[in-house]
Amino acid sequence: MISHKFKILATLALAAITLTAVTFGAYPVILSLVGLGLITVSAILTGFGSKERRKKNDRWLIDANALQDAIFITDLNGKVVGANKACKQLTLANKIADTAATLLEPLQSQAIDPQSAADVLNAVLSAPDIKFTDRLTLTDGRVIERTTRPIEGTNQRIWILRDVTQASVASSDSAMHQTMLEEDAARTAELAEQLFHAKAELENKQTELTKLANTDPLTGIWNRRRFLALAEKAISDASETKPLWVLMMDIDHFKRVNDTYGHAAGDVAIRDFSKLIKETIADAGFVGRMGGEEFAAILTNCAVDEAYRLAERIRKQTTQMQTAAGAEVFRFTTSMGVAAWLPGEPSIEPALDRADKALYSAKTYGRNRVVGYE
């Protein structure tokens, strides 16, 4: 679109040409037309240039391959997403590597201390939020500055590799240069050690949280949730030749123990009983606390007679065990139900239900006995 100012300018120019023609003849008219043409082209180009500059200034587009610094992008696990041409040239890569470790390996292998360079890389990859800069001094005398930081608002990390050899030489003499390298190495080693300890602490905490989520806090054996998960895995491995047996166990007259000796003594009784169960079953299966004074066990690859012998052994050893809680020493008994998991059943729940019914029968028949589900 031609602007309003341009229309006014053209009108005035035409008026001037007409007046010139009337007064001076044709030759001045030709000169006036040439001047008008120049004015028109100038106005058009000025307007177009301003418009183009406005368009260009609205958004900057930068080609990463035009940059001299080597740049590559990874996800937070170190998988390479992309790399520019300078990165490929610096790392002597024929193609984009899969991981940061693979991409940087050619440079790190040329470092004076390649192990330290690799340790720092591993430490940085284990801390997703870290911003870090170090320098690799290569055996050929080059110094490569390595900078990395997470990209805000994404799950990616940018890496910049810059050859700072000339800057290092120009900024210090050989003695100062050596001192700086030693200080950098010390700082790098210190950072790597700090990151190593931080990672070890996080792993310990993760292990502790996993243990808390899967074990009963009072006895240390599997809690109900973990026990059922292991039971479902056991039935997936079971077969006609590898039967499963379920034991349900309950401390007899547990309320009487609490009322007579106190709840602290009841906790000691539960701990002693769970220890006895776990040690007796050992590698024959696994045990879990189902709640309160009730426990369960899964016996894998046991014949029917062996399952009943283990149950009877637990019952008998319970009657012989003495529990000491402070000044109090007492005994208790247990009732047990035994049932088989039947091949083809989709879960362990039917077998648990049958064992629970057998346990109820044991209590009904007078407690301190083992009853099998028929």
pLDDT tens digit sequence for 137-157: 899 889 999 999 999 989 999
- Across 322-337, average pLDDT: 94
CA distances from 147 to 57, 120, 122, 142, 214 (A): 30, 12, 14, 16, 42
Average pLDDT over residues 165-169: 74
Domain 224-372 has CATH 3.30.70.270: yes
**Is the confidence at residue 5, as pLDDT, over 60?**
no
Is 63 strand, coil or helix?
coil
**DSSP structure class, residue 342:** P
**Residue 31, pLDDT above cutoff 90:** no
Classify domain 65-201 by CATH number: 3.30.450.20
pLDDT 10s digits, 172-229: 566 666 777 788 888 888 888 888 878 877 777 676 666 667 999 999 999 999 999 9
Average pLDDT over residues 303-322: 94
| Strand locations in the chain (E) | 70-75, 80-83, 132-137, 143-150, 156-163, 244-251, 285-291, 294-300, 323-325, 328-330, 334-341, 370-372
pLDDT at 202: 73
Statement: residue 9 has pLDDT above 60:
no
Q: Which residues are paired to 370 by β-bridges?
A: 336
Average pLDDT, the chain: 82
| pTM, two decimal places | 0.47
CA 53 to chain centroid: 46
* Mean predicted confidence (pLDDT) in 47-64: 58
Token readout for 114 is 């390649």
pLDDT in tens, 235-270: 888 766 678 999 999 999 999 999 999 999 999 999
What's the pLDDT band for 19 if we cut at 50, 70, 90?
Answer: low
Asked which of 22-26, 110-114, 248-252 is least confident by mean pLDDT, the reply is 22-26
Residue 83 C-beta-side C-alpha neighbours within 13 Å: 26
- Whether 8 shows a pLDDT value over 50: the answer reads yes
Residue 127's pLDDT band, with cuts at 50, 70 and 90, is confident
